[in-house]
Protein backbone atom coordinates (compact mmCIF):
# COMPACT_ATOMS: atom_id res chain seq x y z
CA UNK A 1 0.00 0.00 0.00
CA UNK A 2 0.94 3.64 -0.30
CA UNK A 3 2.26 4.04 3.24
CA UNK A 4 4.79 1.31 2.61
CA UNK A 5 6.41 2.68 -0.54
CA UNK A 6 9.05 4.82 1.14
CA UNK A 7 10.27 1.82 3.11
CA UNK A 8 12.34 0.95 0.06
CA UNK A 9 14.51 3.96 0.84
CA UNK A 10 17.21 4.15 3.47
Partner 1 sequence: MNIFRLAGDMTHLASVLVLLLKIHTIKSCAGISLKTQELFAIVFLTRYLDLFTNFISIYNTIMKLIFLGSSFSIVWYIRRHRVVRRSYDKDQDTFRHFFLMWPCLILAIFINEKFTLKEVMWTFSIYLEAIAILPQLVMLQRTRNIDNLTGQYIFLLGAYRAFYILNWIYRYFTEEHYVHWITWVAGVIQTLLYGDFFYYYFQSWKNNVKLELPA
Question: For binding to partner 1 (CB under 8 A), which residues are involved?
Answer: 2-3, 5-10
**How far does CA 10 lie from the centroid of its chain?**
10
CB of 1 to partner 1, least distance (A): 9
Closest CB 9 distance from partner 1, rounded Å: 7
Q: Integer distance in angstroms from the first to the last C-alpha of the chain? A: 18
Question: HSE on the CB side for 5, CA within 13 Å?
Answer: 2
* Min separation Cβ 4 and partner 1, Å: 8
Amino acid sequence: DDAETLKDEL
